[in-house]
Amino acid sequence: MFKKIMKSGSRKASRNDTNDFGFDPNPNMIVNHASRPSPLPSSHSTTKQPPPPMHSIEPLPLFKDVPAPERESLFLRKLQICSFHFDFTDTLTNAREKEIKRQTLLELVDFIQSGTAKINELCQEEMVKMISLNIFRCLPPTTGQDPADPEEDEPYLEPNWPHLQLVYELLIRYVVPSDTDTKVAKRFIDHAFVFKLLELFETEDPREREYLKTILHRIYGKFMVHRPFIRKGINNIFYRFVYETERHSGIGELLEILGSIINGFALPMKEEHKLFLIRALIPLHKPKPIALYHQQLAYCVVQFVEKDYRLADTVIRGLLKFWPVTNCMKEVLFLGELEEVLEATQPVEFQRCMVPLFQQVARCLNSSHFQVAERSLFLWNNEHIVVLIAQNRSVILPIIFASLEKNTESHWNQAVHGLSSNIKRMFMEMDPELFEECEQEYEEKQAKSKEVEEQRQSRWRRLDEAVEERERVGEEDHMITS
């Protein structure tokens, strides 16, 4: 019994001996030094610590040039080199140290990607700390009053991108692989880390936002514990953008992530997700810079309707609520999205919103901006929408007939004039009796309007005559008194 106790005691001491070398090939990422020689044997258990901090940057040997047991210590020292910050506004300052850090980051990325060894928990913790020190920073102030248009304006580019890009590459190599133990990694990729990651989407550098989009999407897919937190964080960013600032560079990238998330929603859809559509996505149609992210927003909205057709009425009424009044290009975007939503709309839902919907379409048909009028007329090129209109023509035609008639009579654009004539012909062939009734009603309204206008003009003429008569009498009285 005494021999067994002594053997177990020696094994325990050997296991807890401090050893700064060697990566554990075990995929569970638990370091076991029992079978490895320890340069500093100890009779008591100690906790592994990172090497002391470095005060200057000097080149370190490559991983391939050192024995396998020494690579863990070398890995930690390289992480320390990569934790140094440099001023990239002056390209000449610390040029040597900047290059050493860049080469070290490249080697770390290659080493993690190669998968030759599994890094233990201490190395994972120190690596996430180094990544946090590099990417989490105060973003520079915005460059102008309005958000930058990527097609017209030169985007702001981070001056320290040569280092920052490699740090993001390292984070991707850590998060993406399927053999990463999420039970261990979630201790370092925690809520605080994810929150700071979401805050970085405000950067104006499109290259950084692309990396952030990929990383956050992978974290959402791999760490199920973070999913509600990520959705709530994105929600809060949208609220702040819509109701406070109307300025954020990463709305499009966040919507791209959401498009993939919405696509994976299970049916029946949770009430939480429906509220997200109503409270966050639909109000995103309000801000002025919607053109920068409308494509991604429309995709998300249509995904909801395709998942649950009963949401079509909610979405269409939401679009009508935020329909632009004076912004014609925004109106064209709304019409395009409306067509996509209607294509996924079922007849029952269509009937619920068709009256306010086609009242707005009628106003668009008469727009003096030819692109708005033309885009609204293009709705009749969609077969599904034509079927819905045909089934409810007795309600829809009386609403839009006057607009079509005015276009054929007096619209300045020939394309709009021709398309309006084609749609009138379509309705005439569809239901001649209804068309004739609408035409007769339109003529009566026009005659009545003409009569009202004549009466108004007559009243103005009488008023002018009365004023002239009063002025004439006043002049005569003045002449008599003088």
Tens-place pLDDT, residues 73-106: 999 999 999 999 888 878 778 888 999 999 999 9
Q: What is the DSSP string of 141-174?
A: PPSSSSPPPTTTSPPP--TTHHHHHHHHHHHHHH
Residues contacting 39, CB < 8 A, separation 6+: 19
Question: Could you give the angle at the alpha carbon of 329 between the alpha carbons of 324 and 330, nearest 5°?
Answer: 40
CA dihedral 469→474→475→478, nearest 10 degrees, is 160
Burial class (CB in 10 A: 0-12, 13-18, 19+), 97: middle
Longest dimension (CA), the chain: 143
pLDDT digits (tens, 9 = 90+) for 105-134: 999 999 998 876 678 899 999 999 999 999
**Mean pLDDT over the full length of the chain:** 86
**Residue 62 identity:** L
pLDDT recorded at residue 87: 83
* Integer angstrom CA distances of residue 282 from 218, 271, 275, 389: 26, 16, 10, 25
Q: Which residues have C-beta within 8 Å of that of residue 283, sequence separation ≥ 6?
A: 238, 242, 243, 322
**pLDDT for residue 291:** 95
Whose CA is closest to 341, among 364, 313, 375, 377?
A: 313
413-437 pLDDT, tens per residue?
Answer: 999 999 999 999 999 999 999 999 9
* pLDDT tens column, 376-391: 999 999 999 999 999 9
C-alpha neighbours within 13 Å on the C-beta side of residue 14: 12
ω before 69 within 30° of 0 (cis)?
A: no
d(CA 391, CA 345): 14
Q: Give the three-state DSSP class for 353.
A: helix
Q: What are phi and psi of 366, to 5 degrees?
A: -95, 10
Q: Which residues contact 61 (CB under 8 A, 6 or more apart)?
A: 74
- What pLDDT score was predicted for residue 95? 87
Render pLDDT for 191-214 as a digit per residue (tens, 0 to 9). 999 999 999 999 999 999 999 999
- Indicate the pTM of the whole model: 0.81
CA distance 199 to 219: 15
User: How far is 248 from 127, CA to CA, in rounded Å?
Assistant: 30
Spatial separation of the C-alpha atoms in residues 22 and 34, rounded to whole Å: 12
